[in-house]
Amino acid sequence: MNDDIPTLRRILKSYRTIAVVGLSAEWHRPSYFAAKYMQEHGYRIVPVNPRYDTVLGERCYASLRDIPHPVDLVDVFRRTADVGPIAEDAIAIGAKCLWQQLGVRNLEADARARAAGLDSVMDRCVKIEHARLFGGLHWAGVNTRVISARRPV
Amino acid sequence: MADRSFHPETLAIHAGQIPDAATGSRALPIYQTTSYVFDSADHAASLFNLQTFGNVYSRLSNPTVAAFEERVAALEGGRAAVAAASGMAAEALALTTILQQGDHVVAASALYGGTVTMLAVNLRRFGIETSFVDPTDPAAFAAAMRPETRAVFAETLGNPSLQVLDIAAVADVAHAHGVPLVVDNTVPSPYLCTPIAFGADLVVHAATKYLGGHGTTLAGVVVESGKFPWDNGKFPGMTEPSPGYHGVKFYETFGDFGFTMRARMESLRVFGASLAPMSAWQILQGIETLPVRMERHCENALRVAEYLRGHSRVSWVSYPGLPDHPQHELVRRQMRSVGGRAGASGLLAFGVKGGLEAGVRFIEAAQFMSHLANIGDTRTLIIHPASTTHRQLDEAQQRAAGVTPDMVRMSVGLEHIDDILWDIDQALERSAG
């Protein structure tokens, strides 16, 4: 897994369509928090959860393979043990990145995704990383580890 | 490939601040504002729900204060930090976030007097009990733990006892009982010691002291390691829906900076001891030179300690940087080395021959050493703890805190060492009466 600042910056800059696997429609759930934040910051959110028809104003699909258009990043809010088949689906639909959220660390899925040429991230939150690297998280007193003399553009 | 880990000298200047996006200003702007506009009703709702990060009201967060928070978090090797109006406010912020009625604290007996009062009087009124134990004995911490214990509290270097905490050993005791170790790291500053590296879970600072370094500004800060498992069952406030914040579960939603988010959104927001932007800016000016200043404080203090030890009018000297200090080995292990010797800060204590009266004459005879209640200034400072900083404690509590009637505490400053020694010598001569 490559999760240094330049790699994460590249991933979050280039991949604009995010399939959120396990997205909950309840507003106080972490998956909803993250998806809403990304949607507000210009990303297209594609909910994947058999329990709902729509979430955050977007059509919700039962599985990744049901999505009729390209997906860049597959964002996984599921248990570590369940990530395997999701990784296979991500590879099958031509996604460019497998992203396992906080507390999700399926090493086999990570290896599979890499071997198939995808970027792969584990145990990180898209919202937190976006806020860390593109502004926002530093306002919460978090150690972003960014040391730079470049004015943000 | 991992990101580069920068040295403290670089972090002290850069962490938490990049050039201003709006103006290109290299130096940190002072955002002297109470409030911030919302882009839309939706944006406002997102901010209030914590679904997006941003500023709403300076009691909760402010961009200038945030730079200070991130800088200290970076220097301490922590995950996140939240600032407060003073060191005591930072302690109160940390403790009122962790504790509730019926909880118990195991604390070192050698603590700053104000901290002892907070634990023994103020928090006690709200049904929180504290047991005070010998900070040099990790087994004493273990023996005092109870089922309702929810925190262990100690100072890296006791003020003014200068007793040294074995951070790793006491952290092990705390963790064996599933509770966090909170360490007041004011005296060493993060340059000389980073308690998180030894297992501390929360670090508090009176930034008023060495971090600010110039005796101008009150400030405090709480840093979290990001490693404590708040979901171990003992801290429902971290895992249950927050009644104060629309049912958000802080640990689940924010993970390893969940404690800082909760401290900010539940405690700071409600009790309101917020740090002013101008104050944060001033402290940051001091932090930029923290490494350089601490090196000089340590060099000067060691010279003073060695000088006092040989002085005919001094009965004893205590300085952890002296090789024969009972805990010198621990100091060498835990503190940064300065000039090949263990960096033990600028704080030392000694007894003036002739007891209380001679001590008072010494203090009053000093020419440029300042008699006042503070430590960690560029100026050399002196005080008699038994009659001032620890006056609120009874004699038993004073002795437990390491305070004796003849003790003079000195915070050695950055004046030329020859001048400091001259002032000490002439004041000691006059102390004979």
- pLDDT tier at B161, thresholds 50, 70, 90: confident
B46 and A139 in contact by Cβ < 8 A? no
What is the interface size between A and B, counted as CB pairs within 8 Å?
A: 113
Q: Are strands B104-108 and B347-352 parallel, antiparallel or unpaired?
A: unpaired
| Whether residue B108 has pLDDT greater than 90 | yes
Residue-wise pLDDT tens digits, B36-51: 999 999 889 888 888 8
Map out the domains of chain A as residue ranges: 5-127
Average pLDDT over chain A, rounded to an integer? 94
B260 and A142 in contact by Cβ < 8 A? yes
Q: Which of residues 234-263 of B touch A (CB under 8 A)?
A: 241, 246-249, 252-255, 257, 260-261
**How far away is chain B from the Cα of A28, in angstroms, using its nearest Cα?**
6
Kindly state the average pLDDT of the residues B105-132. 95
B241: nearest CA partner in chain A: A28
Asked if B161 has any chain A CB less than 8 Å from its own CB, the reply is no
A140 and B16 in contact by Cβ < 8 A? no
Q: Which residues contact B140 (CB under 8 A, 6 or more apart)?
A: B133, B134
**How far away is chain B from the Cα of A138, in angstroms, using its nearest Cα?**
6
Residue-wise pLDDT tens digits, B291-311: 999 999 999 999 999 999 999
Residue-wise pLDDT tens digits, B53-62: 889 999 999 9
B245 vs B170, more confident: B170
A33 and B253 in contact by Cβ < 8 A? yes
Kindly state the average pLDDT of the residues A92-117. 96
DSSP string for B134-169 = -TT-HHHHHHH--TTEEEEEEESB-TTT-PBP-HHH
B252: nearest CA partner in chain A: A30
**How far away is chain B from the Cα of A150, in angstroms, using its nearest Cα?**
6
The torsion angle over the Cα atoms of residues B331, B337, B340 and B341, rounded to 10 degrees, is -30
What token pair was written down for B386?
A: 């038994």
Q: Are strands A58-59 and A54-55 parallel, antiparallel or unpaired?
A: antiparallel
The predicted pLDDT at position B403 comes to 82
Backbone angles phi, psi at B382, to 5 degrees: -135, 150
Query: Using CB atoms, which residue from A28, A138, A151 is nearest to B66?
Result: A138
Residue B178 to residue B181: CA distance in whole angstroms: 10
CA distances from A49 to A23, A27, A123, B25, B337 (A): 6, 15, 20, 46, 56
- pLDDT tier at A153, thresholds 50, 70, 90: low
Q: Which residues of A touch B250 (CB under 8 A)?
A: none
Residue B328 to residue B318: CA distance in whole angstroms: 11
Q: Are B369 and B419 in contact (CB under 8 A)?
A: no
The predicted pLDDT at position B386 comes to 78
Q: Are A141 and B260 in contact (CB under 8 A)?
A: yes
Kindly state the average pLDDT of the residues B366-382. 95
Count of CA atoms in the C-beta half-sphere (13 A) of B257: 26
Best to test chain A binding among B51, B57, B97, B196 (most A CBs inside 10 Å):
B51
Q: Which residues of A touch B10 (CB under 8 A)?
A: 147
The predicted pLDDT at position B96 comes to 98
**How far away is chain A from the Cα of B131, in angstroms, using its nearest Cα?**
32
DSSP string for B69-124 = HHHHHHHHT-SEEEEESSHHHHHHHHHHHH--TT-EEEEESS--HHHHHIIIIIHH
Q: Are strands B104-108 and A97-100 parallel, antiparallel or unpaired?
A: unpaired
B66 and A141 in contact by Cβ < 8 A? yes
Residue B374 to residue B132: CA distance in whole angstroms: 24
B73: nearest CA partner in chain A: A143
B397 vs B305, more confident: B305
Kindly state the average pLDDT of the residues B3-19. 96
What token pair was written down for B162?
A: 């200068």
Residue-wise pLDDT tens digits, B360-370: 889 999 999 99
Best to test chain B binding among A36, A147, A153 (most B CBs inside 10 Å):
A147
**How far away is chain A from the Cα of B201, in angstroms, using its nearest Cα?**
15
| ipTM here | 0.87
Kindly state the average pLDDT of the residues B114-138. 96
Q: Are strands B181-184 and B337-338 parallel, antiparallel or unpaired?
A: unpaired
CA distances from B221 to B57, B86, B226 (A): 19, 8, 15
| Whether residue A106 has pLDDT greater than 90 | yes
Q: Which residues of B touch A142 (CB under 8 A)?
A: 70, 73, 79-80, 257, 260
B83: nearest CA partner in chain A: A141
Residue-wise pLDDT tens digits, A40-83: 999 999 999 999 999 999 999 999 999 999 999 999 999 999 99
Asked if B338 has any chain A CB less than 8 Å from its own CB, the reply is no
Asked if B84 has any chain A CB less than 8 Å from its own CB, the reply is no
Q: Which residues of B touch A4 (CB under 8 A)?
A: 1-3
Average pLDDT over chain B, rounded to an integer? 94
The predicted pLDDT at position A28 comes to 80
| Whether residue A1 has pLDDT greater than 80 | no
Name the DSSP letter for residue B267. Answer: I
B113 vs B299, more confident: B299
What chain B holds in terms of domains, given with CATH numbers, is 8-287 (3.40.640.10), 290-431 (3.90.1150.10)
A30: nearest CA partner in chain B: B253
The predicted pLDDT at position B387 comes to 77
| Whether residue A111 has pLDDT greater than 90 | yes
Sheet with strand A44-48: strands edge to edge: A44-48, A17-21, A73-76, A97-100, A119-121
B20: nearest CA partner in chain A: A151
The predicted pLDDT at position B269 comes to 95
A138 and B15 in contact by Cβ < 8 A? no
A28 and B241 in contact by Cβ < 8 A? yes
B19: nearest CA partner in chain A: A151
**How far away is chain B from the Cα of A40, in angstroms, using its nearest Cα?**
8
Residue B312 to residue B290: CA distance in whole angstroms: 34
Q: Taking CA B200 as the corner, what is the angle to CA B195 and CA B205, rounded to the nearest 5 degrees? A: 60
A31: nearest CA partner in chain B: B253
The predicted pLDDT at position B328 comes to 92
The predicted pLDDT at position B245 comes to 80
Q: What is the pTM of this model?
A: 0.92
Q: Which of residues 91-150 of B touch A (CB under 8 A)?
A: none
Q: Are B200 and B190 in contact (CB under 8 A)?
A: no
| Whether residue B433 has pLDDT greater than 90 | no
A150 and B19 in contact by Cβ < 8 A? yes
| Whether residue B389 has pLDDT greater than 80 | no
The predicted pLDDT at position B138 comes to 97
Collapsed DSSP state (helix, strand, coil) of residue B341: strand
Per CATH, the number for A5-127 is: 3.40.50.720
The predicted pLDDT at position B50 comes to 82
Q: Taking CA B288 as the corner, what is the angle to CA B287 and CA B289, rounded to the nearest 5 degrees? A: 90
Kindly state the average pLDDT of the residues B114-125. 96
